[in-house]
């Protein structure tokens, strides 16, 4: 059985497309068999909702009277990068408010904008003949600014490590609060619903793929930062962090239901981003990949008290084990908890499925593939001569 994206889009247009979520398709294939199910199902939808620190938004404020070339910009006292053009800025999700209390940051600014709340814009400049104004203090909103779009360099990690802590003190990390003496284990993945785990070799995903992003429509813009393929796999499924996506989408149309600011006490701020990927069922092999279940996906458990990039996994645990609420480690039961929301991931997959069924969302073919092979380098202390 083979079908094309164009054929699926015609079925969407005709109103007779068959869509299932990655959770629903597992028992369906078990019941009907792969060959028959592949003839029935046209699209499988996925979803994930969790902290994606490598996120941010490009904003264009428009020109003031007289005009200003913004050199130092803050939004609600959170610094934004303005070395782009006169009135463009990029606000990073993890940038912190200037008072440095680590409770409000760029993620909150993005959520405020999406929610329709006013944001205080302050900008300074040295002034020039063509941009004479030297400062401005005003309020902006999503209604008043021009372009406003997420551009997230790294979203949708294909699997990720779980965190624990063997030391005698509590650790405050991007994996949350890790209690001493292996007091808990935290993890962050939608497992069997996670987008890139359902297409592990990226057969259907590439540059230009249309996705659900933050409640609206987005696109895959490029490979994500830290994209790598040289990881241990089991049945093509990575057993740790591997491929990632750079994503882009208009803030207008997004919702704070699927874009939320997060604060990690003792660490900082991040942005929870909802991402949903529709997988066109082009053949039986594509469908088979979407039937992966939590008991078949394994995450490495990492000791975050080891302060090295070369931390070795203590063991691998399946997402079925992680979701059970406890794991045995060194002969004792350790509590587990998720930093991502499976409930939200399921809602994203269901919402995307409904939009496809209603003809509101069609599929796109990638205009270029993402890398089939990619390693990831490291940062070393080098001399100028060594850096060449």
Which residues are the active-site residues? 130
Q: Are 8 and 19 in contact (CB under 8 A)?
A: no
CB neighbourhood size of 55 (10 A): 26
Q: How do beta strands 184-187 and 332-338 pair?
A: parallel
Location of structure tokens 């020109």: 63
CA gap 106, 95 in Å, rounded: 5
* Whole-angstrom distance, CA of residue 364 vs CA of residue 166: 46
* Per-residue H/E/C for the chain: CECCHHHHHHHHHHCCCCEEECCCHHHHHHHHCHHHHHHHCCEEECCEEEECCCCEEEEECCCCCCCECCCEEEECCEEEECCCCCCEEEEECCCECCCCCCCCEHHHHHHHHHCCCCEEEEEECCCCCCCCECEEEEEECCCCCCCEEEEEEEECCCCCCEEECCCCCCEEECCEEECCCCCEEEECCCHHHCHHHCCCCCCCCEECCEEEECCEEEEEEEECCCCCCCCCEECCEECCCCCCEEEEEECCCCCCCCEEEEEECCCEEEEEEEEECEEECCEHHHHHHHCCCHHHCEEEEEECCCCCCCCCCCEEEEHHHHHCCEEEECCEEEEEEECCCHHHHHHHHHHHHHHHHCCCCCCCCCCEECCCCCCCCCCCCCCCCCCC
Q: From residue 359, how far is each of 90, 191, 353 by CA, in Å? A: 34, 28, 10
């Amino acid at each position: 059985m083979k079908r094309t994206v164009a054929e699926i889009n015609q079925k969407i247009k005709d109103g007779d497309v068959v869509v299932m979520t990655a959770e629903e398709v597992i028992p369906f294939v078990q019941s009907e068999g792969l060959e028959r199910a592949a003839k029935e199902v046209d699209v499988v939808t996925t979803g994930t909702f969790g902290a994606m620190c490598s996120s941010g938004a490009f904003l264009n404020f428009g020109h003031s009277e007289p005009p200003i070339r913004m050199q130092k910009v803050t939004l609600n006292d959170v610094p934004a990068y303005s070395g782009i053009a006169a009135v463009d800025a990029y606000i990073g999700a993890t940038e912190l408010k200037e008072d440095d209390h680590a409770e409000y940051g760029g993620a909150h600014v993005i959520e405020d904008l999406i929610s329709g709340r006013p944001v205080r814009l302050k900008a300074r400049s040295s002034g020039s003949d063509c941009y004479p104004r030297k400062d401005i203090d005003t309020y902006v909103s999503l209604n008043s600014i021009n372009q406003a779009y997420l551009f997230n360099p790294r979203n949708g990690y294909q699997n990720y490590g779980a965190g624990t802590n063997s030391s005698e003190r509590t650790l405050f990390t991007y994996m949350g609060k890790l209690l001493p003496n292996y007091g808990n284990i935290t993890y962050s993945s939608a497992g069997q619903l996670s987008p890139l785990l359902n297409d592990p070799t990226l057969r259907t995903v590439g540059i230009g793929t249309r996705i659900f992003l933050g409640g609206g429509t987005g696109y895959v813009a490029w490979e994500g930062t830290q994209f790598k393929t040289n990881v241990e796999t089991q049945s093509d499924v990575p057993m740790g962090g591997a491929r990632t996506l750079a994503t882009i989408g208009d803030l207008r149309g997004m919702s704070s239901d699927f874009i939320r600011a997060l604060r990690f006490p003792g660490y900082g701020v991040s942005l929870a981003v909802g991402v949903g990927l529709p997988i066109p069922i082009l053949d039986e092999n594509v469908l088979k990949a979407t039937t992966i279940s939590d008991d078949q996906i394994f995450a490495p458990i990492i000791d975050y008290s080891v302060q090295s990039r070369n931390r070795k996994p203590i063991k691998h645990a399946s997402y079925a084990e992680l979701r059970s609420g406890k794991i045995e480690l060194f002969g004792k039961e350790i509590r587990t908890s998720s930093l991502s929301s499976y409930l939200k991931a399921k809602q994203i997959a269901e919402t995307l499925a409904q939009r496809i069924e209603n003809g509101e969302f069609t599929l796109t073919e990638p205009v270029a593939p993402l890398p089939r092979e990619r390693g990831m380098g490291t940062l070393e202390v080098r001399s100028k001569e060594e850096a060449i």
